Amino acid sequence: MVYLLPNWGMGESQLHNQINFNQQLHTADLLSQLSSDRCKDQDDDEVSLLPLNNQVGGHTRLMLLDQLTICKPLNHKELEFYENIPHDIQMFVPKYKGTFKSSLLLAKLDQIH
C-alpha cells in the first residue's frame, strides 16, 4: 500500500527534513550501487525502499519510496477502506496511490565500497 505524504510536516524543522533527506539520498545511492552490482540482469523498474526513520510506534516497519511517499504492508481491510473512501472525508485522509509487490534485499551498508 502506498500513501502520498501531505505538504505539512510532523513537527520537524525544514533543516532537519533536508538533512534527513540528504542522508536518505546517500543511503539510496549505496543501496542502488549494491543492487546494481548483485542484480545486473534484473528489470529496470526496480526502486529502493528506505526505512522511515521517524516512525515511533506500530508493529510493522514503514518504508519510504521517495520524499513524499510512504509504503506499508498490505492490510486487506485497510485496502478496502482506501479504495472506497467516502467523499466527505477524503480531504482528511492520506492520498492512496495504489499497491505494488516488493521483495527484500538485505545488506550491510558497511560492506559497500
Residue 83 CB coordination number (10 Å): 10
Q: What is the pLDDT of residue 91?
A: 92
* CA atoms of 100 and 74, how far apart (whole Å): 9
Residue 45: pLDDT band with limits 50, 70, 90: confident
pLDDT per position as a tens digit, 54-108: 878 777 888 888 888 888 888 899 999 999 999 999 999 988 888 888 776 666 5
Q: What domain count does the chain have?
A: 1
Comparing CA positions, the residue from 57, 82, 87, 60 lying closest to residue 73 is 60
pLDDT per position as a tens digit, 6-30: 443 444 444 344 444 444 444 455 4
DSSP for 60-76, please give it. Answer: S--EEEETTEEE----H
Whole-prediction pTM value? 0.50
Domain range enclosing 102: 2-111
